[in-house]
Copies of this chain bind each other. A is one copy, B any other.
Amino acid sequence: MSIVLGQNQYGKAENRVVRIYRDRDRHEIRDLNVSTALRGDFSDAHLVGDQARVLPTDTQKQTVYAYAKEVGVGEIEDFALALGRHFVNDTEPVEGARIEVEEYSWRRIEVDGREHDHSWVRTGQETRTTVLTIDGKGGAESVVSGLKDLVLLKSTGSEFHGFLVDDYTTLTPTRDRIMATSLLARWRYVGTDVAWADTYTRIRQILLEKFATVHSLALQQSLYEMGKAALEACSEVAEIRFSAPNKHHFLYDLSPFGLENPHEVFNVGDRPYGLIEATVLRDDAPPAGRAWDTIPGFC
């Protein structure tokens, strides 16, 4: 028996880059959080501390900022592809890369009803995300994009009953409740020839609409319908995954005060929360390879 090095990766996490386009009076802004991770045979760094094959994380940072100028920041998926291909193709020891990008959205401030040229206010609660995985030199490129912290609530149109009952079940079935979540949704693309921004906007809107219009018998059902609709509308997407906390809104007991509470006053709980995780995919989806892969145990 001997002790060996297993899976490993290293990189620079959370490079906060703002890129301004100012070629004309009307500026544009891209506000990103970029993380890089490289894979390859870095045994010597671990076993004997030899860095000869290690591109420093500082260099990865410098590259991110240099690329923001050199390549430019269009859609985050394209920026990730440029970075990932560079690290894998141009650095001999690097056999794979994982590039994560978050994008924060800004809206122009309106002055006298007209959008200002160079002033913005942050908008929305949610963040747009992408993760690019490249597996081997010239190997598969997988793009998983999505959003997180999309906070949704419906004040009716949600039921929960008919569930399994055991000795520890005290929950009362309900025909009307608040359903609320902070949605994490991530979808895997087929290929990289995609209208990234357009698909993002379309899927976001579909998720919102289906959340609103599906009469829900369970958060699971809502998620499934949301995923199904997204896949039906976007042939470039093979698979979508959701992680959705059930943000419990408890009907407050006002009876001690002689008050009725016909689903009007709720206490919002922090913890514990239900947590529903589900995947919806095409039955002919190409294999995911390492697309979803952070290295297990590391995330």
Contacts and interface: CB of A to CB of B under 8 A. Distances in A.
A47 B224 CA distance: 7
Given A154-B118, A220-B8, A266 B18 contact: yes
Interface string A158-177: 00111111111111000000
A136 interface: no
Interface in A15-69: 15-22, 27, 29, 31, 35, 37, 42, 45-59, 61-63, 65-66, 68-69
Interface string A203-235: 000001101110011101101100110011000
A231 to B, nearest CB: 5
Nearest to A55: B164
A99 to B, nearest CB: 13
- A-side interface size class: 35 or more
B3 A111 contact: no
A195 interface: no
Interface in A139-160: 144, 150-157, 160
A273 B167 CA distance: 32
Contacts of A1: 282-284
Contacts of A275: 10-13, 35, 37, 57
A267 B65 contact: yes
A21 to B, nearest CB: 7
Nearest to A288: B296
Nearest to A62: B168
Contacts of A144: 297
A161 B9 CA distance: 19
Interface in A70-114: 70, 90-91, 93, 106, 109-112
B169 A69 contact: no
A21 B208 CA distance: 22
Given A42-B220, A218-B51, A19 B264 contact: yes
A199 interface: no
Given A6-B239, A277-B8, A120 B218 contact: no
B212 A116 contact: yes
Nearest to A152: B121
Nearest to A51: B163
B46 A220 contact: yes
A231 B178 contact: no
Given A4-B280, A12-B275, 15 more contacts: A2-B283, A6-B281, A8-B277, A8-B278, A10-B220, A22-B155, A22-B264, A49-B218, A51-B161, A54-B218, A59-B164, A68-B252, A90-B166, A109-B208, A144-B297
9 contacts: A14-B271, A19-B266, A52-B163, A68-B264, A69-B261, A120-B152, A168-B257, A241-B298, A270-B271
